[in-house]
Amino acid sequence: MASKTGEQKRMWGGRFSESTDELVQRFNASVDFDRRLALHDLAGSVAHATMLGETGILTQDEAAQIIAGLKNLKQEVEAGTFEWRVDLEDVHMNLEHALTERIGPIGGKLHTARSRNDQVATDFRLWLRDETHALIGLLREVQGALVAAAERHLGLIMPGYTHLQVAQPVLFSHHLLAYYEMFARDEGRLTDSLKRLNISPLGAGALAGTGFPIDRARTAQLLGFEGVARNSLDAVSDRDFAVEFLAAASLIMMHLSRLSEELILWSSQEFGFVTLPDSHTTGSSIMPQKKNPDVSELTRGKTGRVYGHLLGLLTTLKGLPLAYNKDLQEDKEGVFDTADTLRVCLTLTADLLPKLVPNASRMREAAGRAYSNATDLADYLARQGLPFREAHEVVGKLVARALREGKDLQELTLAEMRAACALIGEEVFEVLRLESVVNARSSYGGTALDAVRAQLAAAKARLEGQG
């Protein structure tokens, strides 16, 4: 690293007579984290050099030499042999300096008609585009795991809850498919974000464009962008795409956290609904009997971390005047960390779900408790012609009687039920059976077996259509 005495000439240092303070140099540098943009920076530079050669801004020979040098640098970066230097500040200056060292002064011509401002905006979009596609793939894996588990355990009955109180019985498959729908929406948000993300800022220069006869559409085409940013000021200062990614990521983490919370509850001794695999749990250093759901807990915990990155970037952006400001160096670390966090949480969730073992008997027992069939008795009376509000009161009194006697509703005798309402007949016991209660919810999207089969078929068709 350069010393305070200025032994290393800055690539921007012509105006400066004093070397940069060492602490300022480290404070200003971003290469420790933005080097992960290296391959995208090189791709952007190849496209820029190609365009410069095609438009005659550089000669064909100059462009060819630069492109060959960039391809050699790519091999070094991929092999992990490239030497990164903090005194060169960032990924862009490191690569440009290395290029010039290898091919001579002609390497300095690469920066013609380009600024680090439009360069970094381009790199960041290219990197996030690749990450978004990768995360969409992982979301599909989680959706596939949920659909497979729902199909594997079709028919298993569990309690459905409101206010974390037993409400009505549902199929376990129905519950899993609720999460499928959440992650399908998440996939849709990421896919939709690509329309705004996949726009090229390259050629916007520092803020005002350039006087060189560049072809921005050509570089956009070479880099796979779907369009070109229309305003140069906006092109270099826009980070909406990063905020949008963090917002979508926050929703994904929220859904992962809700699923994790339920797995934590369900695997506890108090619930006993599922057994988590040994491969995704840990033990206690002092209590040998413990099996802790650490993967689920960490997923739940990391959700706040991602929320923090979203709020952090929004706060960074809220007071920035146009166009580029050094504050924007703070846009990347949170996005990088969020993408890394999402990758591991989605991967672990997709791995865990196939290994989840439900306790069918425990779920069924819990589903049949707390008078979860009471609504069906009220519906039965309403179908007999009793106004629902009167039926509600009748069933409430029968629940109260059952509570006093320590019985479930179906354990009351027909005579006891008819004492509350003469409309009740022998068929009521079939109505109160768990399978009947579940299958009565046959409306579109309901928990009846046929309705859930329809949801499964639709989910599988959507996943197969995405493949």
Phi, psi dihedral angles at 271 (to 5 degrees): -90, -60
Question: Of 9, 18, 235, 211, nearest to 108 (Cα)?
Answer: 9
The pLDDT of residue 383 is above 90: yes
For the cut 60, the answer to whether the pLDDT of residue 12 exceeds it is: no
| HEC secondary structure over 223-283 | CCCCEECCCHHHHHHCCHHHHHHHHHHHHHHHHHHHHHHHHHHHCCCCCCCEECCHHHCEC
Question: Is the whole model's pTM more than 0.95, yes or no?
Answer: no
The tens digit of pLDDT for each residue in 146-166 reads 999 999 999 999 999 999 999
Q: Taking 60 as the threshold, does the pLDDT of residue 2 lie above it?
A: no
| pLDDT value for 366 | 95
What single-letter DSSP state applies at residue 292?
Answer: B
The 10s digit of each residue's pLDDT in 34-63 is 999 999 999 999 999 999 999 999 999 999
User: Taking a C-beta distance cutoff of 8 angstroms, is the pair 216, 281 a contact?
Assistant: no
Instruction: Identify the active-site residue in 17, 163, 285, 443.
Output: 163
- pLDDT score recorded for residue 11: 61
**pLDDT band (50, 70, 90) for residue 4:** very low
Locate 131 and state its tokens.
């990450």
User: What integer best gives the mean pLDDT of the chain?
Assistant: 94
Does residue 202 surpass a pLDDT of 60?
yes
Residue 19: the pLDDT is: 75
CATH architecture designation of domain 366-466: Orthogonal Bundle (1.10)
Residues 77-133: pLDDT tens digits? 999 999 999 999 999 999 999 999 999 999 999 999 999 999 999 999 999 999 999
Nearest to 158 by CA among 183, 143, 141, 177: 177
Instruction: Tell me phi and psi for residue 15, to 5 degrees.
Output: -80, -15
pLDDT band at 289 (very low <50, low <70, confident <90, very high): confident
- Is the confidence at residue 364, as pLDDT, over 70? yes
Domain 118-199+226-363 -> CATH class: mainly alpha
pLDDT at residue 13, rounded to an integer: 61
pLDDT tens digits along 123-135 = 999 999 999 999 9
Structure tokens at 248: 């979508």
How much is the pLDDT for 266?
Answer: 98
* CATH class label, 21-112: mainly alpha
Give the residue from 112, 103, 98, 107 showing the smallest Cα distance to 51.
Answer: 112
Q: What is the model's pLDDT at position 21?
A: 78
- pLDDT band of residue 1 (cuts 50, 70, 90) is very low
Query: Among all chains, which residue has been given the structure tokens 């779907």?
Result: 226
pLDDT at position 10? 61
Active site residue 436: no
Q: What pLDDT digit, counting tens, does each position of 314-337 carry?
A: 999 999 999 999 999 999 999 999
CA dist 346 and 352 (Å) reads 10
Catalytic residue among 3, 268, 279, 284: 284
Cβ pair 281, 294 in contact under 8 A: yes
Domain ranges in the chain are 21-112, 118-199+226-363, 366-466
**Tokens 């990197």 identify what position?**
127
Q: What's the pLDDT at 5?
A: 35
Q: Residue 294 in contact with residue 301, Cβ under 8 Å?
A: no
Does position 285 have pLDDT exceeding 70, yes or no?
yes
Say whether pLDDT at 8 is over 70: no
Using DSSP bridges, classify how beta strands 199-200 and 227-228 pair: parallel, antiparallel or unpaired: parallel
Q: And the tokens for 90?
A: 């960032």
Q: Provide, rounded to the nearest whole percent, the portion of the chain with pLDDT above 90.
A: 90
Question: What is the pLDDT at residue 287?
Answer: 85
Decide if 111 is catalytic: no
Across-strand partners of 357?
275
Q: What is the pLDDT averaged over residues 175-184?
A: 98
- Quote helix, strand, coil % in the chain, to nearest 5: 65, 5, 30
